[in-house]
Amino acid sequence: MQQGFTNQLQQQYQQQLLLDEQNVLEPEHSIGFSGKIHNSVYFHPNGKDFVYISGCCIVITDLNDPHKQDFLREHDDSITTLAIGNLGKLIASGQKGDNSDVIIWDFEQRKPLFKLSEHDWEVVTVQFSHDDKLLFSAGNPQDKKIFIWDTTNGFIVASCLAQPERIQCMSWGGYAKDIKGRDTNLYQFATSGSTKICLWKLDSQLGQFDKEFINTGSMIRDYICMKFSKNKEEFLFAGTKSGDFCVFYVKQKSLVTSITVAAQGVQSLYPISANQIMVGCGQGTVAIYQNQGSQFNKILQNELMGSVKSISVSQNQQESLCATDKGFIYRIRNQDMAKVLHCENHVDSITFLAYPEGVSDKFASASVDGTIRLWDIQQDYLVTTRCMQNNAGPPLCMVYNDEIILSGWQDGKIRLFSTESGKLIWQIDNAHKGGVTSICMAKNLKFFVSGGQEGEVRVWEMKSREMVSHLKEHTSKVTKVRLTKDEMHIISASKDRALLVWDLKLEKRVSAHIQRMGGINSFDVVSGSNIVVTTGQDQKITFWDLSQPNPLRSFNTSQKQQSVQDEVMDLSISHDGKYFVTGGTEEVVKVWDIQSGQIVGKGQGHSGPINSVAFSYDDRQIVSGGRDGNIFLWNVFID
């Protein structure tokens, strides 16, 4: 039966390769990783790559060249756990959702070997044995299943239910030892999910388990992470929510000591040598402790930005990768704990993306994490500027040019930042009650237009920052405002189903187009024409001529006969007017031919609804941002 699964998987993979050859979209780069997941970033044993989770993708990136990325795409929902084989030949991943599969990947070939479809709900952890012959997987409390898999053929070696304890973390510990400390033919591993730690022995030939609980004495802790020591697995280290890590004798199955580290829990740990262990904590501390007799003393320490969720040590033990839940990945030299920020990412939903006028190698992103970041593609996707405001809520919209970023925020304020320094230049308080939901700016920088949560469209003078016009006909959230090419009219769309055109000089509405069902989420204007393309809650793409009352044409957002269509959240037309790109609840970036209305390219990588899409100025790239906090850059191959 498993062989059938394998053949089917290979067929699906070949079919996907064929589709990729016909696709006009190719993933160029991924920004963002699932930093809130434990052990989501790994050094690869080859010493030149690192591997991490990005939504429903696994990304393999060259440590020294971020332009060199490979994407492993087979999961259809968020990846929840990741493991790298000790030899570096295999990768394993598990996901949540309807298809809570475990996939074993061939690292060199960048393709799946086996899809293991026995879990339901969610896979919480996968780990390879010390010889990479076995893979452990465990499901969440609803699933309750534990499996041991043969990595050579994908067969089940052993299985049981995780009772009475749920599984949250585990660690393989080589072979179990006999009374004289010699290796037996039994594998050993440890698991925990709350306050108990269980030590297991596995006979892989018979598929039988034997387990015992470690005596923790009177100490009660919730355990988050664990690892065996490197000196013949003499000790088991376990990090706790209380901010300490516990050391247990494996042979006696008893507690040795508990070492307090810092607040907010020991989130990650990794033995870097026979007598040293690195620990990462919730408030950002990362430290190395050394075993001196039966005592563990801190010898080195550094501070990082965010909770340290992942620690991975290089093959030569000289360097560590530490990743935090704030989106920062650091390279740390183990001998002195010197740190270098390797990359940074958003870790919450992307709200808006924008290219500056006439520029294709820079873009800006706004996120629910409360920041606006400016990215330089030519400088290895470096964040050149970071804009933020405390207690302002997220930025919801913006206009980006060479010198300034004009942005609207959830707290109802409009803020102007310097692109060079990221410093706030000025702000307009109480610009819109409930939040500034859309904004656009005249090319001469003399005025700008904003839309609000309660349906107002307002025009502001840039120099004085005074409101010069207040336009109110929308009855619900304004989703987008845009100036016409001559900058004499404003086009606005709203959740009230209306697409309105306003005369700036007369300060009144001159036309209205009403969508039949559902609010309008986004629109764009075909360059050099009166054609507007809208999309929204009706799950359709609709073409309008602003001089005619009725739509020119309309078609579904998903071309397959599906019971549920894709609700498109954002739409952008290429600058040459030949194509448009959409992103929405289907979590797929789609490129459409504007004449035929046919999809000519699809990009899969996001694991949540896509909130924002944009064409680069030269139309050769598309950037997309999703609720999963990830940003993808896509190369567009269109003649």
Split at pLDDT 50, 70, 90, the class of 10 is: low
| 94-101 average pLDDT score | 92
pLDDT, tens only, 153-209: 999 999 998 877 788 899 999 999 888 888 899 999 999 988 889 999 999 999 999
Please report the pLDDT score of residue 577 as a whole number. 93
pLDDT, tens only, 446-500: 999 999 999 999 999 999 999 999 999 999 999 999 999 999 999 999 999 999 9
Split at pLDDT 50, 70, 90, the class of 34 is: confident
Split at pLDDT 50, 70, 90, the class of 359 is: very high
| 578-601 average pLDDT score | 94
Give strand pairing partners of 615: 622
| 237-243 average pLDDT score | 92
First to last CA, the chain: 45
Question: How many residues are listed for the chain in this entry?
Answer: 639
DSSP 543-568: EEETTSSS-SEEEESS-S--SS---E
CA 638 – CA 623 distance, rounded (Å): 16
Q: Would you list the domain boundaries of the chain? A: 2-344, 526-639
Res 19 pLDDT > 60: no
Split at pLDDT 50, 70, 90, the class of 22 is: low
| 286-310 average pLDDT score | 91
Split at pLDDT 50, 70, 90, the class of 8 is: low
Task: Report helix, strand or coil for 6.
Answer: helix
- Are the C-beta atoms of 119 and 113 separated by less than 8 Å? no
CA 267 – CA 223 distance, rounded (Å): 9
Quickly tell me which residue has 């071309």 as its tokens.
Answer: 559
Mean pLDDT of the chain: 90
Helix (H) or strand (E) holding 257: strand 254-260
DSSP 433-499: TT-EEEEEE-TTSSEEEEEETTSEEEEEETTT--EEEEEE---S-EEEEEE-TTSSEEEEEETTSEE
Number of H helices, E strands in the chain: 1, 56
Same fold flag, 2-344 and 526-639? yes
Please report the pLDDT score of residue 505 as a whole number. 93
Res 27 pLDDT > 70: yes
The CATH number of the domain covering residues in 2-344 = 2.130.10.10
Backbone angles phi, psi at 16, to 5 degrees: -65, -40
| More confident: 450 or 11 | 450
CA 562 – CA 586 distance, rounded (Å): 11
Residue 487: CB atoms within 10 A of its CB come to 16
Beta strands 520-525; 41-43: pairing state: unpaired
Task: Report helix, strand or coil for 20.
Answer: helix
Split at pLDDT 50, 70, 90, the class of 15 is: very low
Q: Which DSSP symbol is given to 432?
A: S
Helix (H) or strand (E) holding 18: helix 2-22
Beta strands 338-344; 350-354: pairing state: unpaired
Res 59 pLDDT > 70: yes
Split at pLDDT 50, 70, 90, the class of 560 is: low
CA 20 – CA 465 distance, rounded (Å): 49
Split at pLDDT 50, 70, 90, the class of 426 is: very high
Residue 423 tokens, joined? 């410093």
Split at pLDDT 50, 70, 90, the class of 418 is: very high
Split at pLDDT 50, 70, 90, the class of 559 is: low
Q: Which DSSP symbol is given to 165?
A: S
List the single range of 232-246, 379-393, 518-532 with lowest mean pLDDT: 379-393
Res 634 pLDDT > 90: yes
- Are the C-beta atoms of 306 and 346 separated by less than 8 Å? no
Q: Which CATH class is domain 526-639?
A: mainly beta
Res 562 pLDDT > 90: no
On the CB side of 152, CA atoms within 13 Å amount to: 3
Cross-sheet strand order for the sheet of 49-54: 41-43, 49-54, 57-62, 69-72
